[in-house]
Structure 1
Amino acid sequence: MSPELYLSYSSAFLIGLLGSTHCLGMCGGISASLSMALPVGKGFRVRQTLMLLAFNGGRIASYAVIAALIALLSTSAVNQWSELGTALRSLAGLLLVLMGLSMAQWWQGIRYIEKVGAPVWKRLSPLTRRLLPVNHTGQALALGALWGWLPCGLIYSTLGWAALQPTVASAALTMVFFGLGTLPSMLATGYAAGWVSNLRGNPAFRRITGTLLIIFGLWSLPWAALLPNFH
């Protein structure tokens, strides 16, 4: 693996890990409901684990599909217009800054960006209701695959990184690593919904994670290209 790809994958994982409290607000409720719908008894933990893994596996797979679709357009476009790569990286960095401001509850401007995906979600959301209540892992997998299309500023931020990758496969893998970064919090929601909810609502925790995302976003901006006359 080249150093550039390693940095992209690790960055995507870190974005998912830092921003996963935002994911709890978007996907945590449905993840927790999967556990609560299961009958308590022998084998409950095994069934719970399989259900949560299926849902999140479907969710992460949908991220990879979205990234692949975007990369089909962006990779060839970046090869033709090198300036587009700088623009995409700038956009990804700025979206991370907006996401950090939102998580820290300083400004909610990211919500305007999230409206971009609203038309797609309007068509998909009725399908999710047909899968409820979830009774087996196949339903959980399908529900996760649909839920991954829910408009989310954090996903859009990371898709900016994915669009910069040299191949469609590496773009999809970037979003897989992002999804893996969100996985610990999402699984924790299923196992301990109350504790995770309290953590998400903690103002100090939100400010810390928000600040880290802002720093990461600023660091990822292509300053040399944005300030060509800076010496």
Structure 2
Amino acid sequence: MLFSAFLLGLLGSFHCIGMCGPIAFMLPVDRSNTLKKMTQITIYHVGRLLAYSIIGLIFGLIGKSLYIFGFQQQLSITIGALMILAVIIPQRTFNTYNFSKPIYNTISKIKSGLGQALKRKTTDTFLTIGFLNGFLPCGLVYMAVFAAIASSNAFNGSVYMVVFGLGTIPLMTTAIYFSNLLKGSLRQKIQKAIPVFIVFIGLLFILRGLGLGIPYISPKPINDVVSSSMNCH
């Protein structure tokens, strides 16, 4: 599933450029010194990965608690269904219900912190910008969070989110260097492919939850394997 995390980040970064691109374009990098500029951009990405790892850790713990209560299969099926529904349900339906209202103050504080950080040029500024950037609301991050919950483990959830973040690095870095390179038909085609890929990942989670006995894709539940082993003896 880690491969799916990287692909989700790689393809989804075309969407991320539209959402977080303005922040990347406004990074106060030193454009006169190539090495220093690369270092600053790397620190920015480290900040984002750190934020994603914390998010994955938190939601992985939530998934672990559900796993302890024996809901792993149901959770995997539910997560897969939610991913597919998020693609099928028209965007205007989500816009009708403003889910961000309960956390509006938190988001405002994050944006305020970003605004202040963008005015400075110290080394820690780039870490702060990347870290705060990672907590901004994003549909693709929500999809990755679903998968982190389904990982049923704090460590695995954190790793999944980090790998997702690694997938976003190539295009986000390109956006900083060449802001006009990623415009046009190629970007539109890949954006159209993103929902298809999300549905594919959703189906994989549903298959995993069904426990059909397909190696790596839909393995049998651990309880069933233990039970059959005991019967053999």
TM range (shorter): 0.7 to 0.9
Q: Which of the residues 204, 208, 211 maps onto 2:189?
A: 204
Contact 1:117–1:151 (8 Å) recurs in 2: no
Residue 216 of structure 1 and its aligned partner are, at CA, apart by 2.9
TM-score for both structures, normalised by structure 2: 0.76
Alpha-carbon distance in 2 for matches of 1:72, 1:188:
34
* Aligned CA distance change for structure 1 residues 38 and 74 (closer, same or farther; 3 Å): closer
* Aligned CA distance change for structure 1 residues 98 and 197 (closer, same or farther; 3 Å): farther
Alpha-carbon distance in 2 for matches of 1:153, 1:113:
14
Alpha-carbon distance in 1 for matches of 2:138, 2:51:
13
Q: Deviations over 1:124-181 (max 9, x none)?
A: 2222222122413310101111111101121111112112234322211111101001
Give the secondary-structure state (helix, strand or coil) at the position aligned to 1:150. Answer: coil
Matched residue, 1:217: 202
Q: Deviations over 1:39-78 (max 9, x none)?
A: 543x2x2122112111111011101101112223331232
**Paired AA for residue 60 in structure 1:** L
* Aligned CA distance change for structure 1 residues 217 and 77 (closer, same or farther; 3 Å): closer
Give the secondary-structure state (helix, strand or coil) at the position aligned to 1:221. Answer: helix
Query: Which 10-residue stretch deviates more, 13-22 or 212-221?
Result: 212-221
Alpha-carbon distance in 1 for matches of 2:201, 2:108:
32
- Identical-residue share of aligned pairs (%): 26
Matched residue, 2:223: none
Mapped pair 1:23 → 2:16: yes
TM-score for both structures, normalised by structure 1: 0.77
* Aligned CA distance change for structure 1 residues 209 and 187 (closer, same or farther; 3 Å): same
CA RMSD of aligned residues (A): 3.0
In the alignment of these two chains, the number of paired residues is 210
Contact 1:72–1:168 (8 Å) recurs in 2: yes
Contact 2:63–2:149 (8 Å) recurs in 1: yes
